Amino acid sequence: MSVHRAAGARDERLVLRALVIAACLVLGACAQAPSMSEDSPAVSTPSTPTLTVSSGYRNAAIARHSRLAATARDAGDLAEAADHEEVLVLLSPNDPARKRALQSTREAIRRAVRTHAESGSAARRAGDLVSARDAYLRVLALDPDNADAVKALREIDSAVMARSQGERAARVRVPDDVVASAKARPTDALDVDQRIEILRAGDFNAGLRELRSWVDANPGDRATRQRIGAAVAEKARELESKAQRESALGLYDQAGTLAGAPTPEWTTRAQALRKALGEQYYAEGMKVYRTDLDLAIRSFEAGVRYDPSNTTLQLRLREAKLAQQKLQKIGK
């Protein structure tokens, strides 16, 4: 008997457990899915109990948003005040005072938007783009969906940037004497810096072309020209240390031209390089003098071009040319 009762109780528990499982599955699934329309603020569909709720939540919410709305109003933030008042109307749909407060705030917003938009428009007409921008931003702060304000802000910022670009372009093209007397702006210095960096990075063609172009546009800016010359000379010294004498000499020459006049140091270094190149070509010519007369002549000629004062080179060049003439006669 007791066995039967025990078995019955077990079966009852099984059934109960099965029903609980089924209920939980259904509830769990429904809790995951959006089961109500936007119009129904609360549903009676049961779900997994997660919190024992006592009354008073609505009142707590009303108190909180009343406080937030008042704070926003006091701070002059009508848009935020209206948002909290909107929540209050949602929480107390039958309270006419809440609706009136919201309507009043919305009317105040409309008035303020009108005022700011008019002030923005007036500032634009007067060419005061900064004030115009601020006015339209105030419009958007109150009315984020205001497409006119967004359009106006885009136009204003385009005009600000176009003005800035126009000023840069004008400075590039003004006559020399105006540039010379004008105070250099940071952007001018940066333009030059960029050109110098290109040269330093080893793009000699672009670097020198861009620096020449800057000097052509600003021939009277002596200080900057000297800075350019110094940068080019620095690169020349670097090449000189790597025994790239011809490139280094070319850059010393460019440094002098770009700066307006070479420094004594550049002149001395250039002269030394000319002499060294003269001797280098002399040595190369002598190496092939007895085996390749044409190449020797070309080397002596190059040497004389670099150092016309090298009398030994001149002598050797003359000798080589005479020897070449003799050989040509014999050949004929």
| Binders of other proteins in range 224-263 (CB under 8 A) | none
* Closest approach of other proteins to the CB of residue 64, in Å: 6
- Which of 1, 51, 223, 330 binds other proteins (CB under 8 A)? It is 51
Q: CA–CA separation, 66 vs 64, rounded Å?
A: 6
Q: Considering the rule CB under 8 A, would residue 176 count as an interface residue with other proteins?
A: no
The first and second tokens of residue 273, run together, are 């390089």
CB-nearer residue toward other proteins: 93 or 308 = 93
218-257 per-residue burial string, b: 16 or more CB within 10 A, e: under 16: beebeebbbbbbbbbbebbbebbeeeebeebbbbbbbbbe
Residue 101 as a binder of other proteins (CB under 8 A): the answer is no
Question: How open is the CA angle 62-66-70, to the nearest 5 degrees?
Answer: 175
Between 44 and 181, whose beta carbon lies closer to other proteins? 44
Both tokens of 171, joined, read 């400075």
Q: Which is nearer to other proteins, 45 or 268 (CB)?
A: 45
Q: How many residues lie near other proteins (CB under 8 A)?
A: 95
Spell out, one character per residue from 180 to 209, where the chain touches other proteins: x when CB under 8 A holds, - when not. Answer: -------x-xxx-xx--xx-xxxx--x--x
Using CB under 8 A, pick the residue from 65, 73, 274, 316 that binds other proteins: 65
CB-CB contact of 313 with 307 (8 Å): yes
Does 73 participate in binding other proteins (rule CB under 8 A)?
A: no
Stretch that binds other proteins, among 56-64, 246-254, 259-267, 273-281 (CB under 8 A): 56-64
| In contact, 80 and 72? CB cutoff 8 Å | yes
Footprint of other proteins on 143-172 (CB under 8 A): 144, 150, 153-154, 156-158, 161-162, 164-165, 168-169, 172
Angle among Cα 286, 313, 317 to the nearest 5 degrees reads 75
With contact defined as beta carbons under 8 Å apart, do 303 and 282 qualify? yes
Q: How far is the CB of 280 from other proteins (least distance, A)?
A: 23
CB of 292 to other proteins, least distance (A): 33
Q: With respect to other proteins, which residue has the nearer C-beta, 255 or 320?
A: 255
- Which residues, other chains included, contact 141 with Cβ-Cβ below 8 Å and sequence gap of 6+? 79
Query: Using the rule CB under 8 A, is 57 a contact of other proteins?
Result: yes
- Complete DSSP assignment for 169-183: HHHHHS-HHHHHHSP
**Which one of residues 55, 94, 181, 241 is an interface residue with other proteins (CB under 8 A)?**
55
Q: What is residue 95's DSSP assignment?
A: -
